[in-house]
Amino acid sequence: MSSLATIISISCETKSNYLEDYSEPKKGVFLYSYKIKIINHSDSEVKLVSRYWLIIDSLSNKEIIRGDGVVGKQPCIKPGESFEYTSFCPLATNFGTMEGHFHFINEDGNKFDVNVERFYLATSLFEYPCNEFKRGQVVRHKLYNYRGVVVDFDMSFTADDNWYKSNKTKPDKDMPWYHVLVDGSDKVTYVAQQNLEFSEIGAPIVHPLVQHFFNGFETSGYIRNDNSWRELKM
- Backbone dihedral region for residue 170 (phi beyond 0: left; psi -120 to 50: alpha; all else: beta): left
* H-helix or E-strand spanning residue 37: strand 30-40
- Find, among 130, 215, 145, the residue nearest to 180 by Cα: 145
pLDDT recorded at residue 217: 78
Residues 152 and 36: their CA atoms lie apart, in Å, by 23
CB 136 within 8 A of CB 115: no
pLDDT above 90: residue 218:
no
CATH superfamily of 2-122: ApaG domain (2.60.40.1470)
Residues 99 and 175: their CA atoms lie apart, in Å, by 20
DSSP secondary structure letters along 67-80: EESBTTB--EE-TT
Residues 42 and 97: their CA atoms lie apart, in Å, by 29
Which class for 146: exposed (0-12), middle (13-18), buried (19 or more C-beta within 10 A)? middle
Where residue 169 falls among pLDDT bands split at 50, 70, 90?
A: confident
What are the domain boundaries of the chain?
Answer: 2-122, 138-233
For 51-98, the pLDDT digits (tens) are: 999 998 888 888 999 999 999 999 999 999 999 999 999 999 988 999
- Find, among 115, 116, 110, 100, the residue nearest to 43 by Cα: 110
pLDDT recorded at residue 6: 47
* H-helix or E-strand spanning residue 179: strand 177-182
Residues 182 and 139: their CA atoms lie apart, in Å, by 10
pLDDT recorded at residue 8: 57
Cα end-to-end span (Å), the chain: 27
pLDDT recorded at residue 143: 93
Which three-class secondary structure state does DSSP give residue 189? strand
pTM of the model: 0.63
For 117-133, the pLDDT digits (tens) are: 889 998 876 555 677 88
Residues 60 and 55: their CA atoms lie apart, in Å, by 9
